[in-house]
Amino acid sequence: MASSHRKTAATTQAAADAATATLDNVRDRYLRAAKAWDEMASRAEKTAERRAVNEDAKMAAEPA
* Predicted confidence (pLDDT) per residue in 17-28, tens digit: 999 999 999 999
pLDDT digits (tens, 9 = 90+) for 31-58: 999 999 999 999 999 999 999 999 999 9
Contact (Cβ atoms closer than 8 angstroms) between residue 41 and residue 4? yes
DSSP label at 64? -
Q: What's the pLDDT at 3?
A: 58
Q: What's the pLDDT at 2?
A: 59
The Cα 39–Cα 8 span in angstroms is 10
* pTM exceeds 0.75, yes or no: no
The Cα 18–Cα 28 span in angstroms is 7
